[in-house]
Structure 1
């Protein structure tokens, strides 16, 4: 497989993983067929953001603060995916990479 095809595939996986939970699942399935470091990186980052949003939904007052913060982190992550750069989510990114290192 050529480097250009791999780059396009990894970039596609990285971007699709940001588009709702269904997009994340599609990206995970695509990643299983064509494993790339960029795809795995963003699958782990977005999983962490989705879980943070899910947990925050159970804490009423914290939810008011975390929803906008997670949205901004999601936007920053999406920008990194579009630019094909492994850009860690501020503060939590290294933890997401460590916690979900089984996804590779």
Structure 2
């Protein structure tokens, strides 16, 4: 797979990120490294939102479905934005979490 394809795959769940990381490890260019950092930020955000959903479900069971739907849509929205940026070969940070992801996951070089 080329780096553009791996950049796109990195946004598709944790498994996609792992596949992109290991298959692109030897031939990674700046585009792939950038999207690996951004996609890892989406993975961390999705995990954190999952925890929030669990807490809300225990505290406000009646509101859990509504809140979980909104939070899942946020995660999916970030994935779609990331995939579109990767497909267009753009190194544009994701809204709100993009700069944080770049700084936090700077070990991906």
TM norm structure 2: 0.80
Cα deviations across residues 46-80 of structure 1 (Å, max 9, x unaligned)?
11101111111111246443221121121111100
1:9 aligns to 2:2 (yes or no): yes
How many residues align? The count is 97
> 2:68, 2:45 → 1: CA distance?
10
Aligned to 2:104: 99
**Equivalent in the alignment of 1:4:** none
Q: Are 2:48 and 1:55 aligned? A: yes
Compute the TM-score of the two structures, normalised by the length of structure 1.
0.83
Which of these two proteins has the greater Rg computed from alpha carbons?
Answer: 2
SS class of match (2:51): coil
Ranked by relative contact order (alpha carbons within 8 Å, sequence separation 6 or more), the top structure is 2
User: 1:45 corresponds to which residue?
Assistant: 38
2:38·2:94 contact (CA, 8 Å) conserved in 1? Answer: yes
1:66 maps to 71
Q: How many angstroms apart in 1 are the aligned matches of 2:97 and 2:11?
A: 16
5+ long unaligned stretches in structure 2: 57-66
Alignment root-mean-square deviation, CA:
1.6
